[in-house]
């Protein structure tokens, strides 16, 4: 007897799980801040920037470089958090097994 059951059924279940996880990843909204909350970004699970919020107090014509650094830091932190969230969701698929061709 095959310990994995019906291979076609197993593949169907894996495909359904993959589709579910891909939808969950697309629906993610990850938030990150920098400058003590002065700059906030929200990214989706595909690292598309959804929102950028800048506290007016950090906007200074004399220090544009600092604002650029804060935006960059918040964006990089959001991207890192997206990677973590995606890995967590993928890790749940098939008990964390790496399945070739799935992702």
Question: 70: Cβ–Cβ under 8 A, 6 or more apart, which residues?
Answer: 34, 35, 38, 39, 58
Alpha carbons 12 and 64: distance in angstroms, whole number: 53
Q: Residue 103 above 50 pLDDT? A: no
User: Residue 28 has what pLDDT?
Assistant: 92
CATH number at residue 77: 3.30.1310.10
Q: What is the pLDDT of residues 29-50, one digit of tens each?
A: 999 999 999 999 999 999 999 9
Q: Is 32 helix (H, G, I), strand (E, B) or coil?
A: strand
Q: pTM (2 decimals)?
A: 0.73
pLDDT digits (tens, 9 = 90+) for 58-97: 998 899 999 999 999 999 999 999 999 999 888 876 554 5
Question: Is position 17 within any domain?
Answer: no
Determine, yes or no, domain membership for 2: no
> How many domains in the chain?
1
Per residue in 16-33, pLDDT (tens digit) is: 888 888 888 889 999 999
Residue 43 maps to a domain = yes
Q: Note down the domain range covering 85.
A: 28-94
């Amino acid at each position: 007897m095959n310990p994995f059951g019906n291979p076609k059924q197993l593949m169907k279940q894996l495909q359904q799980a993959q589709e579910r996880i891909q939808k969950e990843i697309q629906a993610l909204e990850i938030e990150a801040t920098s400058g003590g909350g002065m700059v906030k970004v929200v990214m989706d699970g595909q690292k598309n920037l959804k929102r950028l919020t800048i506290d007016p107090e950090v906007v200074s014509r004399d220090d544009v470089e600092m604002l650029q650094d804060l935006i960059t830091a918040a964006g990089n932190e959001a991207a890192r958090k997206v990677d973590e969230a995606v890995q967590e969701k993928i890790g749940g698929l098939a008990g964390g097994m790496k399945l070739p061709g799935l992702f």
